[in-house]
Structure 1
């Protein structure tokens, strides 16, 4: 038996493929990508993308903000808002919905949400379990205040998984 001499290339060059994509939204979209030894095909349709985005709804937190002073009829005014769980601070939700957060002094002297002034105090009447734990900043500014008092600039509403209702008393120091 004689040995056969085979020529073996010293370097491997992958085949040159250019990515191609079908543009029609009614048909499946296919993309070919270059790979070392295989051709990979990825396929999906526009209908499947729409279906998957419709089924991934984020949990919502309903908020009620009780005004600091009773009206002529003895009832406190209530503002309502809704927020996606775990995405915003209480201060930002109030600002987005034009709900008054600060007293006269706080309007002029607030820190803009940095947690260095303590003027954005609110009281959580219901739904404290839907909020984050008190931060170190809150522990420092609110150490002699009731446990239900929070700084709106430090309070995250929800945790991206929970949903429910939070009731907030604005300017609780006016009631005490």
Structure 2
């Protein structure tokens, strides 16, 4: 038994001694896959196309939807509101200048329509002092001369800022033109406080 134990000790000692000894190894070879055009290593290679491969494939049919006259005419069928904006000061010819615009019913505020069509809305102080359409300054006052029934009801902001003003006066930033179903004509007096 002693012989087997001593044999084990010798084996263990040899293993320890071998670990301490320097290892002589050759430099391992490193496999590098080819680089792609973006500098990333990639083992994927795209399938090659040949005439024999292409003849075996089934054709794919692709259909494109075309616009029918019904769908394009439905866009045109949306109710339209005609707007006339009367200027606050008499022109050289003795009449008030009139700007015209059209809008789809119920889609925009009066202020937005005027801005889109580059129609002046603010008096001198309003250009600097306006709130940007939030209904908190009362500087975008207009007077509705015709078509009041096409517009939305006065909002709380309008009731607050226009309390002592005529019922025909509105805030352009609070006035929705149409209700998506009605159409007609609205005549607007710009900057009514200037008109005498």
- Normalised to the residue count of structure 1, the TM-score between the two structures is 0.73
CA distance in 1, matches of 2:118, 2:195: 22
The alignment status of 1:102 with 2:122, answered yes or no, reads yes
CA shift for structure 1 position 22: 5.1
CA distance in 1, matches of 2:112, 2:80: 16
User: 1:148-159 residue pairs with structure 2 within 5 A?
Assistant: 148-159=168-179
Higher Cα Rg, which structure = 2
CA shift for structure 1 position 74: 1.4
Note the residue ranges of structure 2 that are not aligned, 5 or more in a row. 1-59
CA distance in 2, matches of 1:96, 1:146: 27
* 2:63 counterpart residue number: 24
The alignment status of 1:132 with 2:171, answered yes or no, reads no
Q: Which has the higher strand share?
A: 1
* 1:87 counterpart residue number: 107
Structure 1 vs Structure 2 CA RMSD: 1.4
After the TM superposition, which segments of 4 or more aligned residues of structure 1 sit over 3 Å from their partners?
none
CA distance in 1, matches of 2:125, 2:73: 46
Aligned pairs, number: 135
The alignment status of 1:51 with 2:74, answered yes or no, reads no
The alignment status of 1:113 with 2:152, answered yes or no, reads no
CA distance in 2, matches of 1:77, 1:55: 34
Q: Secondary structure at the match of 2:70?
A: helix
* Farther off after superposition, 71-80 or 93-102: 71-80
Q: Secondary structure at the match of 1:129?
A: helix
Q: Secondary structure at the match of 1:137?
A: helix
Q: Which has the higher helix share?
A: 2
Note the residue ranges of structure 1 that are not aligned, 5 or more in a row. 1-20, 26-45
